[in-house]
Structure 1
Amino acid sequence: MVEQAAKGQSRQGKRRRVLLLLACLFLTLGAAAFVYHPIWGQFEESTDDAYVNGHLIELHAQVPGVVTVIDADDTQLVHEGGPLLELDATDAKVHLQQAEASYRIVAAEVNRQCLEIVSDTAATLQKQAQLQAARDDLARRLPLAHSPSMADEELAHARDAVRIAEETLKETQEQAAAAHARVVSCDPEHQPSLQQARAAYVAAYLSLERTRIKAPVSGMVARRHVQVGQQVSPGDSLMSIVPLDSLWVDANLKESQLRHVRIGQKAKVVSDLYGSQVVYPAVVEGVAAGSGSAFSLLPPQNAVGNWIKVVQRVAVRLRLDKAVLEQHPLRVGLSTLVTIDTHDRDGSLQGIKAQPGDDSTTIVYAQQLDRAEKAADRLQLAQAHRR
C-alpha cells in the first residue's frame, strides 16, 4: 500500500511539472506575440494570395499567306529578332517585282520629261535669239523705209519675220511651260510621281518582309495556334511570347492591409516552387486602380436588400530583382508568399508617371522599315545611273 501511494504521488508530481511547463510555454508565446506586434508585426503586411504575372505578347499575321515553316514551338526560348515562322512569299515577291517595274517606268517617264524640259529650254533660247536677230534686221531697215534703195517688199518681209519669230517664241514658251507643269522637279526627292512609286515599292518590300515573322521580344513561346499548311489572314492569332526576364508578382492584399503600403517599399517573395530556400527581393511598384471584383466580367450589384459585406482585395504589383529571377526562373501563375516591409511610410499610394523603358519597346519592325528604305534607295540610285 505504501509503495502504491508513493507511485501515485510521483505520477501527480510529474503531471504538475508537465502542466507547469505547458503553462509557462503558453505564457511565453503569448508574451512574445504581445510584444512582437507593436515592435515588428505592425510594420509588415503579408499574404499568400499572391501570384507571378507577366506580359503575354500575342503575335498576329500582318499579311495573308500559307504557313510554310515553323521555327519555334511551345516551351522554346526565342530571342528578339529571331525567326518564328514563315509564310509563302510567292505573291509578295511578284508584287515587289511589279512595284519595281512600276518605279522604273515612272522614273523613265520623268527622265524623258526632264529631257523635254532641257530641249524646250534650249529651243526657247534659240527662238529668242532668232527674234532678236529679226528685230535687229527690222531696226536697220526702218531708217531706209523712204529711201529709193529700200523696196517696200523687203521692209514687209522684215516685219513678217519679226511677227513670225514672236509667234514661234510664244509657242515654244507654252510648250516649255507645259513640260514644267508635268514635272515638279527632276530631283527624285521632290518629284511626287517618283515618291508615289517609291512608297509603293517600300510597301511591297514590307509585305515581303512580313512573310518572315520574327520575335518582337525575347521570351518563351506559348499557345501556338498555327500549323504548317494553314492559311492565315491579317489579324489571325499565331502564337504568344512571355518575356520571363520581366515577370512581377501581384499580391492581393485586403483593403485593411493597404493602409500603410506605399510605392517603393521593400518586400520579400517566397515561391512555392523553390520554398523558403530562395527569397526574391522585391519593391512595391504600384497599386491597382480598383479591387478585383470591380474589374470582373460581372461586377457585383450591391444595391439590393440582402446585401452582405465582403472584404475586398486589391492587387499590389511587386517588381522582382532581375538577378535573382535569372538565377531562379519563375513561370506565370505560380503561387507565392509575400511580405511587405512598411517601415518607410513616406511614399505615395498614387501611381507613378508612365515612363516607357527597355521592356516596352522593340526594334524589329523599325528594322524591317529600314531594310525597305535601303532597298528603295538602291533602286533609286541604280535608276539614276542609267540616265
Structure 2
Amino acid sequence: MTMIHPADDRPSPFRSMLSVLLTLSALAAAILLGWWMWQAYMTSSWTRDGTVRAYVVTVTPQVSGRIVELPVKGDQFVRKGDLLMVIEPDDYQIALANAEAAVARAKADLDNKQAESQRRAQLTAIAVSKEEQQSFAAVADMAAAAYQQALANRDQARLNLGRTRIVSPVNGYVTNLLAQPGDYATNGQRVLSVVDSDSFWVDAYFEESVLSGIHVGDTARVALMAYPQKLTGRVTGIGRGIAVPNAQPDGSGLATVNPVFTWVRLAQRVPVRIVLDHVPPDITLAAGLTATVSIVASSEAGEDARGPGEAASAPVVAPPVNKLP
C-alpha cells in the first residue's frame, strides 16, 4: 500500500530571503525619501508665511468742521485728485474776508507811516531833530512788519479754505469709511483711508537658514490662498533687521534675557519683499491676503536672461500691479 505524505507548507529559503530583502528595501527607500524631503524642506527657499501688503494712506482733515459733502462710498475706487469730502466752508470764507480786510488796513497804515517818515527825513536838523526822524522811521518799519503779518494771515486763511475740500492723494480704494454727511470732522483725526492700488507687494518671511539662497532680482512664484492661479514676481529687497526680545530693557534698564535650551534653536524669520510682475484682472488683491512663496534662483529661471551676478545687482523696475478701472 502506497502512503501519501502531505505537502510541505514551509516556505523555501529563497522566498524567505526575498521577503526580507523586499522589506529592507522598502524601509531603506522610505528612509531615503524622508531624508530627501527633510533636506528639501530645510534648504529650499520657500515659505507659506507670506502676506500681501500695500501702502495705506490715512486721510485726516487739516481743518475742523461739519461734513457737508461725502461723494464716495466704502470700497469705492478713486483716482488721484478725486473729491473725497467737503467740510462746511462758511466760517473759513468769512475768515478769509476778514484777513483780506486786515491786509487792506495794514497796507493803508504802512503807506501813511512811510510817507510821514520820508517827510521827516527830508527836513533839516533845525526843523526836526535826529531822534524824531529815527522815531518815525521805526514806526514805518513796524507798520511794514504788521503788513507782512497781515499778508501771512491772509495766506493762512486762504489755505484753510482750500483745505475744506479733501481729495484723494493716490489711486486706490476707499476703506474704513465711518463718516457720513453731517458728522463733525476734527483736525488731525482720521476719517477714512485709501489703499494705494499701485503699491501692492508680497512680504514673505523666510527662515534665516535659507537666506543664503535668496538674492535681489531672483524670480519668485507666489500662490495666493484665495486663488488657484500662480503669480510671478521679483525679489526687490531683503530685510536688514528684526526685533530681538533679549535686547529690550526692563523697567530698571537691565537687559531682559529669556531662558532657552542651548540644544534647541529656532530659526528666525526675515522679511523678503517681492514685487509682482503682473496680476490678472480676475484676481482682486487685498492687503493681508495669505500667500505661499517659493524662490527660483536666477540660474534656474528660464525666463530670466540675466546671469546670477547681474540679477543680484541690476535694479528692479516694478510695473503696475493693478489694472485700474
Question: 2:136 — aligned with what?
Answer: 179
Question: 1:94 — aligned with what?
Answer: 94
Number of positions where the alignment pairs a residue of Structure 1 with one of Structure 2:
275
Structure 1 runs not aligned, ≥5 long: 1-19, 128-165, 296-300, 350-356, 360-387
Q: How does 1:224-303 map to 2 (within 5 A)?
A: 224-275=177-228, 277-287=229-239, 289-290=241-242, 303=258
SS in 2 for 1:234: coil
CA change 1:193–1:75 in 2 (3 A) is: same
SS in 1 for 2:181: coil
Within the candidate set 152, 164, 169, 1:199 is matched to 152
**For the Cα contact (< 8 Å) 1:43–1:342, is it kept in 2?**
no
Question: 2:112 — aligned with what?
Answer: 112
CA change 1:37–1:254 in 2 (3 A) is: closer
Larger radius of gyration: 1
Offset of residue 241 of structure 1: 0.9
Q: TM-score normalised to the size of structure 1?
A: 0.59
**For the Cα contact (< 8 Å) 1:244–1:329, is it kept in 2?**
no
Offset of residue 222 of structure 1: 0.6
Residues of 2 paired with 1:267 and 1:305: CA distance?
Answer: 35
SS in 2 for 1:58: strand
**As a proportion of its length, which structure holds more helix?**
1
Offset of residue 204 of structure 1: 1.0
Residues of 1 paired with 2:89 and 2:103: CA distance?
Answer: 21
Q: TM-score normalised to the size of structure 2?
A: 0.69
Residues of 2 paired with 1:293 and 1:251: CA distance?
Answer: 21
Deviations 1:59-91 (A, max 9, x none): 222211111111222111122222111111111
Offset of residue 265 of structure 1: 2.8
Identical aligned pairs, as a percentage?
23
CA change 1:326–1:115 in 2 (3 A) is: farther
Residues of 1 paired with 2:71 and 2:164: CA distance?
Answer: 13
**For the Cα contact (< 8 Å) 2:83–2:168, is it kept in 1?**
yes
Structure 2 runs not aligned, ≥5 long: 1-21, 248-255, 300-307, 313-317, 321-325
Offset of residue 304 of structure 1: 4.3
Question: 2:66 — aligned with what?
Answer: 66
Q: How does 1:140-159 map to 2 (within 5 A)?
A: none
Letter in 2 for 1:167: I
**For the Cα contact (< 8 Å) 2:171–2:196, is it kept in 1?**
yes
**For the Cα contact (< 8 Å) 1:288–1:314, is it kept in 2?**
no
Supply the RMSD in Å over aligned alpha carbons: 4.2
Offset of residue 332 of structure 1: 0.9
Residues of 2 paired with 1:86 and 1:308: CA distance?
Answer: 62
Within the candidate set 323, 331, 341, 2:286 is matched to 331
Deviations 1:214-235 (A, max 9, x none): 2122211110122211112222
Letter in 2 for 1:101: A
Asked if 1:219 corresponds to 2:172, the answer is yes
**For the Cα contact (< 8 Å) 1:100–1:201, is it kept in 2?**
yes
Asked if 1:57 corresponds to 2:76, the answer is no
